[in-house]
Structure 1
Amino acid sequence: MINLEEQLKNPVWYSLKETHKKFAFEYNGVQFYNPDICTFGAFFDETKTEKASNEHIKTTDEFFYVSEHQTPLIDDTKISLAKKTDGCQMVLNKLTDVEITEDIVLLDESFIDEIYNLVWLVMPGYYRKRTFEMGNYYGIIKDGKLVSIAGQRMQTNLFIEVSAVVTHPDYTRKGLAKQLIVHNTKEILKTNKTPILHTNKGNLAIGLYEKLGYELTRDMNWWLYHTK
């Protein structure tokens, strides 16, 4: 079995080979999530991405390649680079214990629309309604509505990624996200897997993640492509 350190160098690839293999689309040795689930793709050999991208773009109007160091090759007559996001990966070292004062609930399918609307309000651009199927989502409900969430996204037999940590702008600065991250992390640890997360370089939330026991480990970059 591939060890954790190797899996974390290419988390999309190994997620699609293990826990999320039912969501995998593969072309010429390049893997993508079913675009109804997630917009991510991954590769080892960048010389294969041009043909694979031309095939995958027939199923969707946009997708990301996620890569630590490599730059994908693209047929620029058919596909254009919309943006490159300089990101980073963080891995839990030792969780800082935080008192949970909020009522945190495991969200079921009845919350799919609320989750989608909240993510797109706070972090528009990548989340799909069926992203919900990738892992568990936990939330805090106040005044009869879902106001803060923390979900799980990429995962293998060895790690689970904390993702979609968002709070409605009217309910920020109340420690909701912090409690949700800690709760989600504890739930992942119960499965004997390593909690990880990804974020943009320079994100102010990195300080919070570090205080909770996560450490920066490597770059992880997102290349967003659109059909021409």
Structure 2
Amino acid sequence: MVASELDNPFWSSLCSRHRALALREGDVARYPPEFAPFLGVADGDVEVGDALAALVAPGESMLLLGIAPRRVPDGWQLEAFADLAQMTCIRPLEVIDGPEVIELSGAHRADVLALTALVYPHYFRPRTMELGRYFGIYQDGRLAAMIGERLGTGTTREASAICTHPDFNGRGYARRLTAMLTNDLLGRGHLPFLHVSHENRRALQLYEQIGYRRRRDIGFWSMRRAR
């Protein structure tokens, strides 16, 4: 079951972990726009026309991962991006020494939104933090680095929003946060996974170095309602 869940991660999460949040019409579901711009379909042969008309506002863009409809109705544009690397980790990782890691809450929301707007701007929305737990490292009164949980099912969890403020690069904060969350998830019986662009060689090398392995390349698309 884990393989099929990871092959269609938006749909799997919307049907399980985030079912209470899902806006759904038949075999099409999405996150509310204040949470994430993600839409999932049960499989590529789903007839999506009526569902898309009900779920997506004119001019709105949605992202799909793993599976996209093979046919889209008139008035819609489906654009394929470069595949992402989907990586998983099955063994505990070494946690390097470093500053205290704290769990982030609503009290830290402004700092989180400022950091993600700077270095992770396309996917983080005002209520994304409510999709799971988020953790961060503060230095000199500033949010220097963060990580969080996003997608997932009963057996899997995605590590997401792994980012460091440019003023604090090179200190190992992303490595420390990734290892700590990965070990926590493994201890809870969840398979940790993440997604990263092949163009982000620095991140790919980091994840491979600490113990993540590429499971597969996974399709990534944008769908826009043109009118």
Fold match, TM over 0.5? Answer: yes
Q: Deviations over 1:137-183 (max 9, x none)?
A: 11000111111001110011101100000111111011111001011
Q: Is the 8 A contact 2:45 2:71 kept in 1?
A: yes
Amino acid at match of 1:195: P
How far does residue 132 in structure 1 lie from its aligned partner after superposition? 0.3
Q: Deviations over 1:60-108 (max 9, x none)?
A: 822111125x55432342x334662421210103233132321110111
The answer for the alignment partner of 1:55 in structure 2 is: 54
Distance in 2 (CA, whole Å) between partners of 1:59 and 1:23 is 21
User: Is 2:71 aligned against 1:73?
Assistant: yes
Amino acid at match of 1:15: S
SS of 2:81's equivalent in the other structure is strand
The answer for the alignment partner of 2:168 in structure 1 is: 171
Amino acid at match of 1:146: L
User: Is 2:88 aligned against 1:91?
Assistant: yes
Amino acid at match of 1:62: S
Query: TM-score of the superposition, structure 1-length normalised?
Result: 0.90
SS of 1:152's equivalent in the other structure is strand
How many pairs align? 224
Large movers: runs of 4+ above 4 Å: none
Distance in 2 (CA, whole Å) between partners of 1:72 and 1:37 is 26
Q: Given the alignment, which residue of 128, 135, 144 partners 1:138?
A: 135
Amino acid at match of 1:175: G
Q: Structure 1 residues 159-168 or 83-92, which shifts more? A: 83-92
Q: Is the 8 A contact 1:35 1:59 kept in 2?
A: no
Pairing of 1:81-120 with structure 2 (within 5 A) = 81=78, 84-120=81-117
Distance in 1 (CA, whole Å) between partners of 2:92 and 2:112 is 26
User: Is 2:146 aligned against 1:153?
Assistant: no
SS of 1:23's equivalent in the other structure is coil
Aligned Cα root-mean-square deviation (Å): 1.9
SS of 2:192's equivalent in the other structure is strand
User: Is 2:31 aligned against 1:19?
Assistant: no
Change (3 A) 1:34 1:10: same
Distance in 2 (CA, whole Å) between partners of 1:223 and 1:165 is 21
Amino acid at match of 1:156: T
Distance in 1 (CA, whole Å) between partners of 2:46 and 2:150 is 27
Distance in 2 (CA, whole Å) between partners of 1:137 and 1:145 is 16
Distance in 1 (CA, whole Å) between partners of 2:182 and 2:217 is 21
Q: Deviations over 1:20-43 (max 9, x none)?
A: 101111123112112221111111
Distance in 1 (CA, whole Å) between partners of 2:6 and 2:84 is 14
Structure 2: gaps (5+ residues): none
Q: Deviations over 1:37-61 (max 9, x none)?
A: 1111111133423332222222882
Structure 1: gaps (5+ residues): none
Pairing of 1:213-228 with structure 2 (within 5 A) = 213-228=211-226
Distance in 1 (CA, whole Å) between partners of 2:163 and 2:45 is 33
Q: Structure 1 residues 129-138 or 24-33, which shifts more? A: 24-33
Q: Percent identity?
A: 29
SS of 1:118's equivalent in the other structure is helix
Query: TM-score of the superposition, structure 2-length normalised?
Result: 0.91
Q: Given the alignment, which residue of 187, 190, 197 partners 2:187?
A: 190
The answer for the alignment partner of 2:208 in structure 1 is: 210
The answer for the alignment partner of 1:10 in structure 2 is: 8
